[in-house]
Amino acid sequence: MERPQFVFVFGTLKKGFPLHRRGLAHAAYLGPYRTARNYPMLVAGPWFAPMMFHEPGSGLRVSGELYEVDPVTLERLDRMESIGKPGNFRRRIRVVPRRHGRSCRAFAYFKARFLAVPVHTGYLRSYEDRRFVPPWRREM
């Protein structure tokens, strides 16, 4: 039996944001969490995407949501997050519940800084920006 996989989301995959329904609608929501360490997270790029950089110790503790996912959902999220393309990757990080409970290790999606052009915000604790342009609304 496979052990459960946890995914920490901090941006457009959160409830109420454009990619949630396509990515996590059927996943088990485990509650509000935040990163145990500081990470730089900001809004950047031509589509106003939230991006977090794998630079632990820099930036702020980032708030988000924790989900338990099956392998099929994890593969779908990897495609949505462009895993395999330059500058897009996922790593396990420690996350802690916002209120009470146990910390755990969860996958989080990261971008390389070269994708963050132009930068639209400073570092953020919580993503609430509504300017993101989802893939189905982009003109190529």
Q: Kindly give the pairing relationship between strand 104-111 and strand 63-69.
A: unpaired
* CATH code of the domain containing 86: 3.10.490.10
Instruction: Find all residues with CB under 8 Å of 46, minimum gap 6, and list them.
Output: 118, 133
Among the ranges given (15-24, 74-83, 130-139), the one the predictor scored with the smallest mean pLDDT: 130-139
Does residue 24 form part of some domain?
yes
Kindly report the CA angle at 48 between 44 and 54, in degrees rounded to 5? 40
Percentage of the chain beyond pLDDT 90 is 91
Quick check: 140 pLDDT over 70?
Answer: no
Does residue 137 form part of some domain?
no
What integer pLDDT is reported at residue 94 of this predicted model?
98
Does residue 21 form part of some domain?
yes
pTM for this model (two decimals): 0.95
Does residue 32 form part of some domain?
yes
Q: For residue 88, what is the DSSP state?
A: E
- pLDDT tens for 96-130 read 999 888 999 999 999 999 999 999 999 999 999 99
- For the record, the structure tokens of 81 come out as 């997050």
Does residue 82 form part of some domain?
yes
Quick check: 59 pLDDT over 90?
Answer: yes
**Average pLDDT score over residue span 17-32:** 96
Task: Work out how many domains the chain is built from and give that number.
Answer: 1
Does residue 40 form part of some domain?
yes
Does residue 50 form part of some domain?
yes
Asked if 122 and 42 touch (Cβ cutoff 8 Å), the reply is yes
Does residue 139 form part of some domain?
no
* Range(s) of the domain holding residue 77: 5-132
Quote the CA–CA distance of 36 and 94 in Å, as a whole number. Answer: 6
Return the active site residues.
81
